[in-house]
A and B are shown apart, each in its own frame.
Chain A
Amino acid sequence: MVELPDFRLTGSTGDRPIRILPLTLEDVSYEVNGMRLIKNLSATFSPDTLSVVLGPNGAGKSLLLRLCHGLIEPTHGQIQWKERRSHIVRRFQAMVFQRPIMLRRSVFSNLEHGLRHRGVGKHERLRRIEEILNSTGLARLGRVAARSLSVGEQQRLAVARAWSLDPEVLFLDEPTAALDPAATHSLEKIIDNIRKSKTKVIMTTHDLGQARRLADEIFFLYRGRLLEHSSAESFFEQPKNDLAQSFLRGELLWWNRKELRPPQGSKGTRGL
């Protein structure tokens, strides 16, 4: 298990100007082949909190992230950042996917690739890469082929890569889903460090424990609808929505339209 220091990416302190947040979704829907996968979702993501999008598999969490990040376009509704110009909006975001996407190059090259295309100068690139490698426990692996790393190390590299771009918003799509407990722990520590460096993190997970450990606020998604949005404490103490309650009890594990019926006696499920 790798011991990681508390770390802030130098150069990005709390005094960084807030350029693109808050992110507002207004009545967003996403439809594919006639199926509505995201339904009339409205939400606001503000700076200074680690937001966790929680829900069972198939709730639409990954879709929501991709909509926010701009990888797919909503069929209805508006996704509005504070900043209007899309190329600036793109510059201050980064995303890590469930399975790490590694370029067929060395660890160092993977890190350098994004920085170079962003126009970061050579000197600054080298500085950031060295810092990031040290702070994510990948220090001696610079020349190693990225694809030969273990999944845990690859995911750490993916997070490091995203973080090195110095984003204002970091999207993490189920980042520890493919990892074992030790690797999960290391990655959560890194995510915590990222949060401490005042970078906005929006992550998805279906792991309740992880949500408890990391979240400042919870967005609970079920079948494409946002059912509850509250601070982490109040969600875990007293969820208002009873489907959320069932989920916390471990009852809603996945969404299948045909097979799953809401638990007996629960209200507030009409129209789902």
Chain B
Amino acid sequence: MDIGSAFASAFTLVVHFDSNLLEIVALSFQVSLCAVGVASLLGLPIGAGLAVLRFPGRTFIIISLNAMMGMPPVVVGLVVYLLLSRSGPFGTLGLLYSPTAMIIAQVCLITPIIAALTRQSTEELWNEYAEHLKSLGLGPWQSVSTLLWDARFSLITIILAGFGRASAEVGAVMIVGGNIDHVTRVMTAAITLETSKGDLALALGLGMILLALALSVNGTAFVINEAAKRRYG
């Protein structure tokens, strides 16, 4: 097995529009996009809220969020599995081994990242704006919305970081998704499966495709970001 055969297998898959591959790619995108969407809805206001509000226990929460950025995905997967399992508290929902379970696990994984980085980003802005916003008589949540809009360019980068983490992880999606063919097999899980079957060339080929997709997502976001910056400053 060499890099050449990996490229070759990747190329063949793409050129023939291998339907299995398309299905896997589509599922991976859906799961990670959905996860990063929900995680942003939660993490952005939490992060900005932590920058603005002062309350007992705030420092502890900030430290915990920072620590949770380094959570191993497999641990998150395990915890979510135990929660969603039939023997667990949310078993009656029957969500295990479905894309929804994978989304939930990834949301748990990346919300702390988005929240912690948002807090960092908006805190600097808050130090600058605080007197002006207080003078205007804005309440905490109005201040949060002001900060989030003004920090929008760094927030795009933060959201992309979350998306990258979600689409790259394999521990959580394997445990709560089960790597079920046509149902919960995402790119990273497929790569793991092919590796365990010894088909290293195919595994690497899939890896290259994953990398190419990540590059295009980031490239597009960068271009949009730059264009927006130039227009609106």
Contact = CB atoms under 8 A, between A and B. Distances in A.
Do A and B interact directly, with beta carbons closer than 8 Å? yes
Interface of A: 66, 69, 71, 87, 90-91, 93-95, 97, 101, 103-106, 113-114, 117-118, 144-148, 165
Given A145-B232, A148-B233, A94 B150 contact: no
B61 interface: no
Given A101-B129, A103-B129, A105-B150, A114 B136 contact: yes
Contacts of B142: 117
Contacts of B151: 104
Contacts of A118: 136-137
Nearest to A94: B135
A128 B136 CA distance: 17
B197 interface: no
Given A104-B150, A105-B150, A113-B146, A71 B131 contact: yes
Nearest to A116: B142
A87 B232 contact: no
A207 to B, nearest CB: 22
B233 A71 contact: no
B183 interface: no
A145 B233 contact: yes
Contacts of A87: 137
Contacts of A90: 137
8 contacts: A69-B135, A90-B137, A93-B135, A97-B132, A101-B131, A101-B132, A105-B233, A117-B138
Interface in B87-144: 128-129, 131-132, 134-138, 142
Contact of A71 (B129, B134, B232): B134
Contacts of A145: 232-233
Contacts of B128: 101
Contacts of B232: 105-106, 145
B189 to A, nearest CB: 41
A97 B136 contact: no
A14 to B, nearest CB: 25
A63 to B, nearest CB: 13
Does more than half of chain A's interface fall in helix, strand or loop, or is it mixed? mixed
A146 B150 CA distance: 12
Nearest to B138: A117
Given A105-B232, A145-B233, 8 more contacts: A90-B137, A91-B137, A93-B135, A95-B135, A104-B150, A113-B136, A113-B146, A147-B233
Contacts of A113: 136, 146
B136 A117 contact: yes
Contacts of B136: 94, 113-114, 117-118, 165
A106 B129 contact: no
Contacts of A104: 150-151, 233
Contacts of A95: 131, 135
A76 B136 CA distance: 25
Interface in B148-176: 149-151
Which 5 residue pairs of A and B lie closest in terms of their CB atoms, listed nearest first? A145-B233, A101-B132, A90-B137, A95-B135, A104-B150
A203 to B, nearest CB: 15
A106 B232 CA distance: 7
A106 B150 contact: no
A144 B233 CA distance: 8
A87, A95, A104, A165, most chain B CB atoms within 10 A: A104
A148 B134 CA distance: 24
A114 B132 CA distance: 10
Contacts of B138: 117
Contacts of A144: 233
A97, A105, A165, most chain B CB atoms within 10 A: A105
B131 A97 contact: yes
A103 B146 contact: yes
Contacts of B132: 97, 101
A118 B133 CA distance: 12
Nearest to B136: A114
A165 B129 CA distance: 18
Contacts of B129: 101, 103
Contacts of A117: 136-138, 142
Nearest to B151: A104
Contacts of B131: 66, 71, 95, 97, 101
Contacts of A147: 233
B135 A71 contact: yes
B149 to A, nearest CB: 8
Contacts of A93: 135
B135 to A, nearest CB: 4
A90 B135 CA distance: 8
Contacts of B137: 87, 90-91, 117-118
